[in-house]
Amino acid sequence: MDDLYRELILDHYQHPHHHGEIPDADISYEDSNPLCGDKIRIYIKLKGNIVEDVKFTGKGCAISQASASMLMDELIGKSLDDIKKMDKQFILDMLGIPLGPTRIKCALLPLKVVKAGVYGIHTWPDEEEEE
């Protein structure tokens, strides 16, 4: 079973889905894996509260890039609240192979960036009201 998942991960790494930029994205955020310095930037285009389109750029190992590619597939059609509920286990189930502590950081980087971007947009209205 692991082999199937490994092949899937390699395929996403070699042919990433939703790779690129969205110039008029509603959410754009970048962060890095502190262990290796690899960076991922995500772009999210919303329709109301729902993700209409997503893209990502950046560089990293096979696990981080495959995790980003698979996560982009998952995000389309989801609400911002759905995204806030996604957790470490969601990513581990999505990748489907056991990962050591270092590799888990790689696997979680894309979700970390997506969540930071999503929580970021939700603080904007409050900040504007306070000004």
Question: How far, rounded to the nearest angstrom, does the alpha carbon of residue 117 sit from its chain's CA centroid?
Answer: 10
Determine contact, residues 94/16, Cβ cutoff 8 Å.
no
Per CB under 6 A, 113 contacts ligand FES: no
For residues 119, 18, 96, 41, the Cα torsion angle rounded to the nearest 10 degrees is: -40
Please give the DSSP secondary-structure letter assigned to residue 79: B
Q: Does 108 bind ligand FES (CB under 6 A)?
A: no
Part in contact with ligand FES (CB under 6 A); list of ranges 59-67, 78-86, 92-100, 117-125: 59-67
Query: Closest residue to ligand FES, Cβ-based?
Result: 106
Interaction mask 65-94, ligand FES, x per CB under 6 A: ------------------------------
Sheet containing strand 27-32, edge to edge, reads 27-32, 39-47, 50-58
**38 belongs to the binding site for ligand FES (CB under 6 A):** yes
**Sites of contact with ligand FES (CB under 6 A):** 33, 36, 38, 60-61, 63-64, 106, 109
